[in-house]
Structure 1
Amino acid sequence: MTKVWMITGAGAGLGRAIAEHARGQGHTVVATARDVKAVEDFDDALVLDVHDPSSVEAAVAEAVRRHGRIDVLVNNAGHGLVGAVEELADADLRAVLETNVFGVLRATRAVLPHMREQRSGHIVQMSSVGGQVANPGHAAYATAKFALEGLSESLSAEVAPWGIRVTLVEPGPFRTDFAGRSMRYAEPIPAYHDSPAGQLRGRFASQDGNQPNDPVRAAEEIFLAVEDPASPLRLPLGPEAIDKIRTKLTKQLADLESLPAHVRETGYSAS
């Protein structure tokens, strides 16, 4: 069955890779971006600025007008922010949350009435290994992605009665421009220069263009997850993401097992 895919931030990175793969598989792709020139090579290219509710609503309405339905929404638009917690300015943190959380909410809420009416659909949330594992210097990004994970876990259960599915994609380092033009940096505090948070700045700069994983392979795996009715809620991508998440969950389970018995004894006593 040919599906209609609507993808935010489709002009570059994983968004473009997903759009190109879905198009290559014969599906209809509504490619959106803040600057429509970034997606003008697609037959359906629309302006969509996730910061602007009217822009989101207009793009969704136009996609439905053209095709009668939206089968897959890929919430890909986003950016990162590096800096220790003490270095983060309120405005910079709000900007990350505005794009990576509230932007996703706007697009999701705009599409859901149509998916509920057609009683089917799939929402792909582009999270990150940073939505499971919070690294020093990446607190702002982890805050946004942890929020997206919680939002999407609830959403998955909420919309299941209408046949709507949710996939949280958790990539590790893929060779996109995320570590380049999509990354922002907080004003540094010298005391953090040699700390793990400070060292993350240099790692991102050196990583840009040298990431070990191929966006085309990510797009293929995401497409397969959408096509597979038994695919799980979370889709880690790449060995780095899988290994980091496994290490964290193993440690969490070990911590849980090591708790003293009295931490369960928190109910009111009969006396």
Structure 2
Amino acid sequence: MRQQKSGHIIQVSSIGGRIGTLGAAAYQSAKWAVGGFSTVLSKEVAPFGIKVTVAEPTGINTNMGATATDNSKVSEPYEQTVGQIIQLISKEYSGWTGVSEIARAIIHLSNVEYPPLRIVLGKDALQKAEMVAKTLAESDEKWTKVSKLEF
């Protein structure tokens, strides 16, 4: 890519790289890492004409949830928090996005001249991302004085 002075690296992450979901700490922390790594990588490879995009799909309709939770046992104190998400992802959820829809979006992004660094994909992805961004902005505003060390 450096020799040809062009290219496009597309990393597939998850909306989990923006939100925090009960019971998904290990999985989602890896997705946050992909987003952070890719943000820095995009700056490092930009002088070579290489673009970076992180595709962050929401729930994709596969059997991953059932496989990941197949032998999951949640201890009693966590049944109301972690246990609920495990029950949800172990079932097929009709609202999740189809694999072919995500693939089509990624192919489209590979042909865009000026692609985004990060993009959420899926039926409810934008709504989730906007909700998290709003919550973070509200927290930043609330804690402005402490952030500026003016307390």
TM-score interval for Structure 1 and Structure 2 normalised by the shorter chain: 0.7 to 0.9
Q: Which SS does the other structure have where 2:90 is aligned?
A: helix
CA distance in 1, matches of 2:17, 2:146: 31
CA distance in 2, matches of 1:253, 1:264: 15
Match of 2:124 in 1: 240
Q: Which SS does the other structure have where 2:21 is aligned?
A: coil
Match of 2:91 in 1: 206
CA distance in 2, matches of 1:212, 1:260: 37
Q: Which SS does the other structure have where 1:150 is aligned?
A: helix
Report if aligned partners of 1:192, 1:198 keep a CA contact under 8 Å in 2: no
| Alignment partner of 1:191 is 2:76 | yes
CA distance in 1, matches of 2:144, 2:48: 43
- Give the letter for the 1:251 counterpart: T
CA gap of 1:191–1:155, structure 2 versus 1, over 3 A, is same
| Alignment partner of 1:123 is 2:9 | yes
Alignment of 1:76-115 (within 5 A): 115=1
Q: Which has the higher contact order (CA 8 A, sep 6+)?
A: 2
Q: How big is the shift at 1:217? A: 1.8
Point out the more displaced range, 154-163 or 118-127: 118-127
Report if aligned partners of 1:126, 1:168 keep a CA contact under 8 Å in 2: yes
Q: What are the ranges of 5 or more consecutive residues in structure 1 without an aligned counterpart? A: 1-114, 267-271
Q: Which SS does the other structure have where 2:120 is aligned?
A: strand
Q: Which SS does the other structure have where 2:124 is aligned?
A: helix
Q: Which SS does the other structure have where 2:63 is aligned?
A: coil
CA distance in 2, matches of 1:204, 1:262: 39
CA gap of 1:200–1:172, structure 2 versus 1, over 3 A, is same
Q: How big is the shift at 1:185? A: 6.1
Q: Which SS does the other structure have where 2:60 is aligned?
A: coil
Q: What are the ranges of 5 or more consecutive residues in structure 2 without an aligned counterpart? A: none
- Selected match of 1:162 from 48, 71, 80: 48
CA gap of 1:257–1:119, structure 2 versus 1, over 3 A, is same
CA gap of 1:162–1:184, structure 2 versus 1, over 3 A, is farther
Q: Where in structure 1 do 4 or more consecutive aligned residues deviate above 6 Å? A: none
Q: How big is the shift at 1:116? A: 1.5
User: Which one has the largest radius of gyration?
Assistant: 1
Q: How big is the shift at 1:180? A: 3.5
Q: How big is the shift at 1:176? A: 2.3
State, as a whole percentage, how many aligned pairs show the same letter: 31
CA gap of 1:189–1:177, structure 2 versus 1, over 3 A, is closer
Match of 1:141 in 2: 27
- Give the letter for the 2:130 counterpart: R
Match of 2:110 in 1: 226
CA distance in 2, matches of 1:137, 1:203: 11
Per-residue Cα deviation, 1:98-143 (whole angstroms, up to 9, x for no partner): xxxxxxxxxxxxxxxxx21222211111100101101010000011
Q: How big is the shift at 1:254? A: 0.9
Match of 1:257 in 2: 141
What's the C-alpha RMSD, in Å, of the aligned pairs? 2.0
- Give the letter for the 1:133 counterpart: I
Q: How big is the shift at 1:193? A: 4.9
CA distance in 1, matches of 2:145, 2:80: 37
Number of equivalences: 150
Per-residue Cα deviation, 1:175-221 (whole angstroms, up to 9, x for no partner): 2232244x25675342245222111111111126x453222221221
